[in-house]
Chain A
Amino acid sequence: MAPKTELSPLEERILKVLRGHPEGLADEDLNEKLEGTTSEGRVEAINKLLSIHRLSILQTSAGLAYKGIEADEALRFKGLTQDDHLVYQAIKDAGNKGIWTKELRYKTGLQQQQQVTKILKNLEQRSLVKSVKGIMHASRKLYMLYELQPAKELTGGAWYNKNNFDKEFVDVIQRLTYKFIQDFPESSLDEIVNFLQEKQVSTEVLDAKDIASIVRTLDFEGKIEIVDRDDVDVFRPALLAIPETNPFTSVPCGVCPVISECTPSGPISPATCVYFQKWLEF
């Protein structure tokens, strides 16, 4: 519902100009378009629009810029106190990385946790902010603007599903990628990306960076090698694979977690070792 505040012709004119520039308009450009108006009149109109939240100021590389706010959107800010705006601004500054309550209190100077909680609840009800949980600190709520998508550092990227690491998904992509490299040795990253996108293995789009990280894990597992062909990295099955077992890992001591504590006369000794006992039971 549109606010009932009446707008003067100059104010209407300013909003109309700004509607044509949704990304914002610099101060100088706005003054050019408002020919025939006095500077005092413009200042008064801009201040009025700012006070009723029909205008916001942006800081750009070229200086200050103005951005118009539609009436419906401005209604969401109606009735907000100064503290509410302070909290909103701090959340807006945090961008898509979010901010948690402790940091909010530090930035806004509002010491009372109950006060901050009340403000956040109010802002959430107005759909101005939302809370998300990151993978780094699963118990910590982070607040960000409602319309923003959380950063990859919070969600974990393509390999996380609802903040949980999706091991099966990673394994599937790895297996498909390795099979492709085995079938087509010396294939490039673009070829692998095209193959996986054609396969449509994921509802989420996997970009080249995600696939490159999968290919890198195959290199780390010793399954493939990265070779330079005419300044382009191509991938082939490894010439020298890592053996799954060797004489050392075939004996209990090779995989023993307490070998450093094993002594002939100690509580852990070869004579009394349970791993040896199991190994020799046949």
Chain B
Amino acid sequence: MAELVHPEACQLATLIVEEQLGPICKEICALLLRKGYQTLFELAKTSGCPRAELYDALLVLTQHNCIQPFVLEQEEGAKTSPQTVFQPDLLAILHRLRSARCLLHIADTWKGTNGQDETKIAEAIVEGLLENGRLTSQQIYRNVAGKLGCAVDDSTKATKKLLCQLISSHYVERAPPANLTLPKPAIHPDAMAKGRGISAVAKAQEEQAANLRRLDKVSYGRDRFRIPSDLRLDDGHSAAESALKRQKLSHSASTEALDMGTDPILWRVCYEEFNRSFRHAACIAMISQARDEEAAAIASAILTKTRHFETRLKEQESQPLSAAMIKASLEEMMQSGEEVSPIHDVDAVLREIERDDLEMMTSSTGGPDGTMYQVQLDTCINLARLKTIESIVGARFGLLGLRIWRALFLSGQLEQKTIQDMAIGDQKDTRQLLYGMLKGGFMAVTEIPKSADRAASRTFYTWRVRRDIVSERIGLDMVHSMFNIASRLHTESLLNLELVQQLESGNTTILKTHRQQVSHLTGARDLLESSLFRMDELNSVFNDF
């Protein structure tokens, strides 16, 4: 969804910010989403907000990772102070809807490994970061102690250990510094100027900026999940390793000094890693549905073992693993207490995988370790999308509509008469459904004129389905639907604002007289919130994975 800057997505983001951070933050956020990046001066001028409120709003938005500041470099000897540009992070705002899911995932991931207490600490760390946006390590210790109801000193050691584990697992990352190069603004292809090229000077400047961005990416990529020394030293095991490593790491002494106290490091939740885990879960769910639990368990073993080799979210396939390594991975998962379906005969399941018609898992021979197996992540996600699209077509247009859509999807470009014969439908119904699906964005029509005047009576009309376009359209409709649900939830709360306030204050006298209203409001909120939660899961398949 990095390229998705659609009105519906911006509206949803604005609503989320209003609900969670207040109306002033909402105004500033909406302005930034509309205009792209803005300086402080531009924001003050266009928003009309008093300076103090503007500063506070920007601080809050930055704290909660809704915007990212970029300090622009100045030439040497410049008399004015360096300018800061603020850019909205649409994805980060939309991912705030996923907070509950992230917490559930942490509860499940840490459940069987280190005991119940450590699971609670890990949840508390992530919950604190989700609530507060960015925190230093000290702030994290205090936050966790507060949630657990114990003294800071009592829980610091365990918190530090879990924090290191979360950083190593990439669930927590360093917040990017403000001195990164401003990203290149995304320009719509149709907006590119035609004919006149850019000047040589502009070209050189752009090349220089691109080089700086590459350097920034490398340096931030290196530091993003690096555990600073203050987190490592207190742990005995880590201290011994650190002492040996300090000799090798002498070139990073200046960075170590920075870590110790000159600029406190701010930590935040890394949604990319959570999305990767959710993507894996979606693939495993598809394999479980198409085959069985045993195949899903093997897929889970492969993905767990090869997670570290994935360098980006949308990997096409996992790294290949041999049968022996798969068995070892399954063994490790069972010993760590993870819920894995027991497999009586792993080799038999692997042989079945070799014959998989759907190719969600594939095998290759010829390696030194024998047959290697890998999960085709892209295939699994595409299959999940296809089944969802077909389900939507069936629900919106009925069985005949589904037959027509799949006939076109499987057969390519067809005329109406041929579609009618293949789908065995009535002529009138077929035509009505074809135009209905055309309007809904589920198919396209091509004109093939027989004469130069393109007269309708002498033109062939052929129909076809473009899966990528349909997928994109469904993704947008999903975001639109999520905005509608969130908006309705907001409206229901506003309509019953007085009642909501009295509910929150616990006024029992009012509760008795407005029982029916309370019941309706509670039910409506539960239904809307649960629908939003489930919609976000499905939306991630189309827009994030």
Contact = CB atoms under 8 A, between A and B. Distances in A.
Contact of B524 (A136, A167, A220, A280): A280
| Chain A interface SS verdict (over half) | loop
A82 interface: no
B391 A220 contact: no
Contacts of A214: 424
Given A214-B424, A240-B289, A246-B388, A222 B402 contact: yes
A255 B396 contact: yes
Contact of A239 (B290, B403, B538): B290
A170 interface: yes
A251 interface: yes
A249 B478 CA distance: 10
B402 A251 contact: no
A47 B291 CA distance: 78
Contacts of B403: 217, 220-221
Nearest to B394: A242
A271 interface: yes
A159 interface: yes
Contacts of B531: 247, 250-251
Given A165-B426, A240-B290, A243-B387, A270 B534 contact: no
A247 B534 contact: yes
Given A213-B424, A270-B487, A253 B402 contact: no
Contacts of B527: 279-280
Contacts of A239: 290-291, 357-358
B535 A248 contact: yes
B427 to A, nearest CB: 7
B357 A227 contact: yes
Interface in A142-158: none
B392 interface: yes
A243 B391 contact: yes
B156 to A, nearest CB: 41
A194 to B, nearest CB: 21
B308 to A, nearest CB: 30
A136 B427 CA distance: 8
Interface in B481-538: 481, 483-485, 487-488, 491-492, 520, 523-524, 527-528, 531, 534-535, 537-538
A262 B424 CA distance: 34
B291, B358, B392, B534: most-surrounded residue (chain A CB, <10 A)? B392
B533 to A, nearest CB: 9
Interface string A241-274: 0111111111101110101001010000111010
Given A220-B402, A271-B487, A271-B491, A262 B480 contact: yes
Contacts of B328: none
A245 B477 contact: no
Please indicate which of the listed interface residues B481, B534, B535 has the most CB atoms of chain A within 10 Å of its own CB.
B481
A216 interface: yes
Contacts of B520: 280
A135 interface: yes
A276 B290 CA distance: 34
B402 A242 contact: yes
A248 B481 contact: yes
Contacts of A257: 396
B396 A240 contact: no
B484 A253 contact: yes
B470 to A, nearest CB: 13
B43 to A, nearest CB: 24
A280 B528 CA distance: 9
B181 interface: no
Contact of B481 (A222, A254, A282): A254
Interface in A216-230: 216-217, 219-222, 225, 227
Contacts of A220: 402-404, 406-407, 410, 422-423
Contacts of A225: 357
Contacts of A276: 484, 488
Contacts of A282: 523
Contacts of A246: 388, 391-392, 538
Q: Is the interface of B mostly helix, strand, loop or mixed?
A: helix
A252 to B, nearest CB: 8
Contacts of A227: 357
A276 to B, nearest CB: 6
Central interface residue in B395, B485, B492, by most chain A CB within 10 Å: B395
Contact of B399 (A136, A216, A221): A221
Contacts of B396: 249, 254-255, 257
B33 to A, nearest CB: 15
A5 B74 CA distance: 118
Contacts of A165: 425-426
Interface centre among A242, A243, A264 (most CB of B within 10 A): A242
A213 B422 contact: yes
A277 B63 CA distance: 38
A259 B394 CA distance: 17
B11 interface: yes
Contacts of A279: 527
Contacts of B27: none
A242 B390 contact: yes
B35 to A, nearest CB: 20
B421 interface: yes
A247 B537 contact: yes
Contact of A245 (B395, B399, B492): B395
B383 interface: yes
A244 B394 contact: yes
A146 to B, nearest CB: 28
A240 B358 contact: yes
Given A213-B422, A239-B290, A271 B535 contact: no
A217 B420 CA distance: 11
Contacts of A254: 392, 395-396, 481
B424 A159 contact: yes
A77 B531 CA distance: 77
A273 B520 CA distance: 17
Contacts of A249: 391-392, 395-396
A41 B485 CA distance: 95
25 contacts: A136-B427, A167-B426, A219-B406, A220-B402, A220-B406, A220-B423, A221-B406, A222-B406, A240-B358, A242-B387, A242-B390, A246-B391, A246-B538, A247-B538, A249-B396, A250-B531, A251-B531, A253-B484, A255-B395, A262-B480, A270-B483, A270-B485, A271-B491, A279-B527, A280-B520
Interface of A: 135-136, 159, 165, 167, 170, 213-214, 216-217, 219-222, 225, 227, 239-240, 242-251, 253-255, 257, 259, 262, 264, 269-271, 273, 276, 279-280, 282
Given A159-B424, A247-B534, A254-B395, 4 more contacts: A220-B403, A242-B387, A246-B388, A262-B484
Interface of B: 11, 286, 289-291, 357-358, 383, 387-388, 390-392, 394-396, 399, 402-404, 406-407, 410, 421-427, 474, 477-478, 480-481, 483-485, 487-488, 491-492, 520, 523-524, 527-528, 531, 534-535, 537-538
